[in-house]
Amino acid sequence: MKSLKVLNAGGKGECTNHAFECGAGAGIFFLLQECIGLIMHGTKAAYVHSPYVDSHGETPQYRGRPLNLDLDRYDILQELWSGHLVRQKVIAERGSSRQVIIANFY
């Protein structure tokens, strides 16, 4: 089994690299191991609700449960991306969250 590689030798996370190479510094990712969404702009990132939920419509706390795509949550992420609102959402989430993500970590 391949282990999760978060930081490369240059000290940047793979999501950060991908966002800069393919998304002009912005990106929306699904962190499978944590079952959470990640939005990123530049070197800053914030967690958002996962677009996947369990049979009760909740984000699962434990791995191994079957997940379904919640179209409402997916539409929110789609609107963020297509409306070029990722930067504003990252700023808002980082300002209101207790969780701080180190720059370039993901």
- What local confidence, expressed as pLDDT, does residue 21 receive? 93
pTM of the model: 0.81
The end-to-end CA distance of the chain, in Å, is 20
List the pLDDT tens digit at each of the 106 positions of the chain: 344 455 555 667 889 999 999 999 999 999 988 889 999 999 899 999 999 998 888 887 777 778 899 999 999 999 999 999 999 999 999 988 777 788 878 8
- Rounded CA-CA distance 55/29 in Å is 22
Q: Are 6 and 31 in contact (CB under 8 A)?
A: no
| pLDDT of res. 7 | 55
Model pLDDT, residue 60? 75
Alpha helices in the chain (DSSP H): 14-22, 71-82, 86-96
| pLDDT at residue 46, as a whole number | 94
Q: Can you give the residue ranges of every domain in the chain?
A: 14-96
Total Cβ atoms within 10 A of residue 70 = 17
Residues 6+ apart with CB under 8 A from 17: 8
